[in-house]
Amino acid sequence: MAERSPATRRTLWLALVLVFAFLYIPIAVLVALSFNEGGLAFR
């Protein structure tokens, strides 16, 4: 792809970080809570 300004590059990296956060935070939370001995209370 074409050369981009630093601001555009930062925006693209931010978009990528946000998308990966969206993809991985739910699974990371589930993995973290799988070590919770007391279980979970859903309300």
10 interacts with other proteins by CB under 8 A: no
21 interacts with other proteins by CB under 8 A: no
Q: Rounded to an integer, what distance in angstroms lies between the CA atom of residue 4 and that of residue 10? A: 10
Q: What is the largest CA-CA distance in the chain?
A: 53
12 interacts with other proteins by CB under 8 A: yes
Coil, strand or helix at 32? helix
The least CB distance from residue 40 to other proteins, in Å, is: 7
Q: In the block, which residue shows the tokens 């555009």?
A: 8
Binding site for other proteins (CB under 8 A): 1-2, 4, 8-9, 12-13, 15-16, 19-20, 22-27, 29-30, 33, 40-43
